[in-house]
Amino acid sequence: MTMNNAQAAEAIRAHHGEMATTLRRGVAALGAAVQARQGHFDQQQAVLDYLDHELLPHAAAEERTVYAAADVGPAALLVRAMRDEHVNLIAHIDAFRKASDAIQAVALSSAILALFDSHLAKENDLLIPALQADPSVSLAELLDGMHELLG
């Protein structure tokens, strides 16, 4: 697959959109189960599986690639903030993993979703444009074979 930088940027944004949609559905299903006073452990586990198998590997892969590439020059401060947001997301995911009652699980899953949404907006609207504007960076090369970043 050969992409140019604009296609690579669009591919990242599309994958972010899919991730947000999947997470939003899982969090809604968890909330609905709790509201209906059904057992919620299956829904909690499903959200956790998604976080463990998609969101966390995505975050780790982008720290090694796009964040590393943007970590010099004018975007360095933004990258530092983005890495801190990953740390915050990981802490909330750990708390969600340990949440043993329904209210805690719903509250933490909603917090994770809100954090993730605002994090994605910064990646899409600030970080990706900064990389696209940097002539020393090839987004397409960075993404080559990175299924964690492209879906």
For Fe ion, the closer CB: 16 or 40? 16
Report in angstroms how near the CB of residue 76 gets to Fe ion at its nearest. 15
For Fe ion, the closer CB: 70 or 123? 123
Binders of Fe ion among residues 21 to 80 (CB under 5 A) are none
Given a contact cutoff of 8 angstroms between Cβ atoms, the answer to whether 58 and 82 are in contact is: no
Contacts of 33 (CB under 8 A, 6+ apart): 39, 40, 42, 43
Report in angstroms how near the CB of residue 58 gets to Fe ion at its nearest. 6
Binders of Fe ion among residues 112 to 151 (CB under 5 A) are 123
CA gap 59, 67 in Å, rounded:
10
CB atoms within 10 A of CB 99: 18
For Fe ion, the closer CB: 31 or 123? 123
- Give the number of residues in contact with Fe ion, rule: CB under 5 A: 1
Provide the Cα torsion 132, 134, 140, 143; round to 10°.
Answer: -90
Report in angstroms how near the CB of residue 85 gets to Fe ion at its nearest. 7
For Fe ion, the closer CB: 30 or 123? 123
Hey, what amino acid is at 88? N
Report in angstroms how near the CB of residue 103 gets to Fe ion at its nearest. 28
DSSP secondary structure letter of residue 101 = S
For Fe ion, the closer CB: 26 or 123? 123
Report in angstroms how near the CB of residue 142 gets to Fe ion at its nearest. 12
68 is written with which tokens?
Answer: 């590393």
CA gap 90, 57 in Å, rounded:
11
Residues that bind Fe ion (CB under 5 A): 123
